[in-house]
Amino acid sequence: MMEEAESSQSQRGIGFWLAFGAVLITNLASALDATTLSVALPAISNDIGGKSVEAYWAGTSYPLAQSALMLLWVSLSQCFGRRPVLLLTLAIFGLGAILAAVAHGYPLLLAGRTVQGIGGGGIVGLTTVIITDLVPLHERGQFYALVSAIWALGSTTGPIIGGALAVVNEWRWIFWLNLPIVGIAFLGISIFLKLNIRSRSTKEKLKELDYLGTTLFIASITSFLMAVTWGGTQYPWSSWRTLVPLLLGAAGLIGFCVWEAMTSGATLIPMSIFLDRSAAILYLGSFFHGIILWSLVYYMPEYFQSVKGYSAVISGVAALPQTLTVVPCAVGVGIIVGKTGRYRWAIWLGWGLTTFGMGLLIYLDVDTSVPAWIFLGMASGLGVGLLFPSIALAVQASTPPEEAAMASTLVLWFRGFGQTLGVAIGGTIFQNRFQAELSNVSGYPGQDTSTAANDVVRLIDQMRHLPANSVQLDQLRQAFSSSFKVIWAVMCAFSGIVFIASFFIKEYSMKQDHLTEQGYRGNGERPESKEKALKQQN
């Protein structure tokens, strides 16, 4: 059996790779959609109206919806099969793209982004689950590397595409471009993805769903994230509009955890996953990974457009030093972990470089030269890239094989949860600091400091009409630069905390049983038997 498992990679035929390629294409659509919009938001606001609050929601509605429903899609796929559920999420994602593309105002655009987020949560979550179905743990590093490479391709080209389309006022093609990708993926998955499911009646399948837990989770996380999203931006943190949904959401999440731990029936999330210290630290790391990642994706383009005065296209190109480094890092980690079975080194190095890199970004200023900001941005990109596959592999090595599907999806969920909070935390930090900095600007273009701080998109556009050598423009750029520095400092602190915590992670053997919906494959060791697991302490 072990020889069969070890030689499985060489036995995979063209059908397997066509199926896996179709799954990869779905991630390209999701990656493009996540990164093309932020750099084009100023152009979209100028075209359809709206202030920074609406633009802010256009950026956060997608990850909010994705976080709320990602785990539900995985739960449904365990009952009704991966392929039909994945095809449904693709259809929903495509519908959201159409709604956003035809929008002539922010209400419909936000609706389209939300629908896309609902489908995108299933696309991203089910990709990881399908890999756990098809590939044993010790081979997954190479497949996660391929997924990370696709994400890097979308993340690299996304800002450039979005910026180019914004310059010629064709931002709607940001959404139209998703449709041919979705179409190809839909066709490929329908034809080539063959996954057997257990034969059960519909009644038996429905019994496997955790109705109360799922409802409580979705309602609570939506309430919590909406409060966090508009807290300090649309409404003050002390406002009842922020506190009520925030407290209700937090109470609901506590109630959800209690229910999941005490119920004897089906559960959305097996609480036993978090009992392992290593897994708990890794999930914490994935959460902060999302916060830091989305702060870079969302606020670096604003730095280049406001402080450096770059166009939307050039701002997208300027992000390449950080995004291009993800591909070699992800591929390298996948290959090395697959051959050596060791993964802690990648986590330590990843968090070390991320902490160092976020600290370097504090040196970005108004007069930072092009070579300087290229090298200042590379370190954080290297660190973030190393963490993509290493956290996912480490979690799966730290949890029982029968829980691999949900355990691996939770890595993505915590990262997505962190992404939503990353935009919110960064926005609150920025606006509080920026409002204070504006008091030092003489005759800034705005009615008052609070108005300008909450309408950054319009302020950046107004800055482009100021004389290049004006004192006012220099002061505004300095105000932006000083505000971004605070964001990078906070992110550096977050990364440093996780870096220290990562030294308490244990390293388990990658040679474990391959458990799918059809049963065990292979003859490896199971991490729930702690006395039998290979704890490789270095």
For 269-311, the pLDDT digits (tens) are: 988 889 889 999 999 999 999 999 888 877 888 889 888 888 7
pLDDT at site 448: 53
The pair phi, psi for residue 139, each rounded to 5°, is: -105, -5
Contacts for 490-494: CB closer than 8 Å, 24+ residues apart: 490/425, 490/429, 491/291, 491/292, 491/295, 491/358, 492/355, 492/358, 492/359, 492/361, 492/362, 494/288, 494/291, 494/292
pLDDT at site 538: 40
The answer to pTM > 0.85 is no
CA distance 439 to 455: 16
Burial of 240 (0-12, 13-18, 19+ CB in 10 A): exposed
DSSP 303-342: HHHHTS---HHHHHHHTHHHHTTHHHHHHHHHHHHHHH--
Which stretches of the chain score pLDDT less than 70?
A: 1-12, 50-53, 56, 152, 196-200, 232-233, 443-455, 457-458, 513-538
| Alpha-carbon Rg for the chain in angstroms | 23
406 C-beta neighbours (distance < 10 Å), count = 22
pLDDT at site 498: 97
**What type of residue sits at position 284?**
L
For 187-225, the pLDDT digits (tens) are: 999 988 877 666 667 777 778 889 999 999 999 999 998
pLDDT at site 523: 36
Kindly state the tokens that stand for 534: 């290979």
pLDDT at site 520: 35
Burial of 458 (0-12, 13-18, 19+ CB in 10 A): buried
The pair phi, psi for residue 343, each rounded to 5°, is: -130, -15
pLDDT at site 42: 72
Q: Any idea which residue has 């959609």 for tokens?
A: 33
With contact defined as beta carbons under 8 Å apart, do 242 and 248 qualify?
no
